[in-house]
Structure 1
Amino acid sequence: MGRMKRRKLRERNEKMRMIMIFGFLGLIIAAICGIYAQDISYFLNEQFPFIELSTAITVITLLSIGLYILIPILFSISKKVKKETFYRFLVVSGLVGVLISIRSLFVWAMWMM
């Protein structure tokens, strides 16, 4: 019975590690999209001229804000995530996400004028 418990514990830790990696990478991608939305828009317009700059920056800004909102929601739904981990990601997503999202929305609003 001891081996089975250790095996289940190891499997649970592995799943938890994958969820943590997913959340961490999601927050990094959200930050990169939020900070570099303007540069990414220019790059996309150069590579694909049919994509308008205003459309690209709108999609990238919404992607960034959406990730900051979606990651804590997914963590709250998941039964594998401990409450401590959920609260950590909620605080990081809230603090970092709000600051970057405000900046992104400001840049987006300047583009739309």
Structure 2
Amino acid sequence: MVKGKRVIQRIENAASRQATFSKRRNGLVKKAFELSVLCDAEVALIILSSRGKLHQFSSSSMIETIKRYRAHSREDAGSTSMEHDIEVQHSFVDLQSHFCPFFPFEIISQVNFKLKLK
């Protein structure tokens, strides 16, 4: 039996959406693991579900990987630390306005607080 091509759009049925999320999340984590093993790559994956639950995978320390990413981003952009912090804050505001209907305000506030600490 041949599977048909799936149209990529939001799944309206909540139970189907959750089942699809779970299956695709597991597939994505598996691919991230395979990439890290086969290619000796440092991989970090962060997924926030529509219910606000955090799922993550890291082939090494998540914090160290994020630090390396941020350092690499600064080098590529050639920006100062203050410019980068402003850019991060603007990105956060964009994400907050985009995800506000999906995530409770408490979760967004916690993320904002954690960003300010770093």
TM-score (norm 1): 0.39
**Considering only CA atoms, is the larger Rg found in Structure 1 or Structure 2?**
1
In terms of fraction of residues, the more helix-rich structure is 1
TM-score (norm 2): 0.38
In terms of fraction of residues, the more strand-rich structure is 2
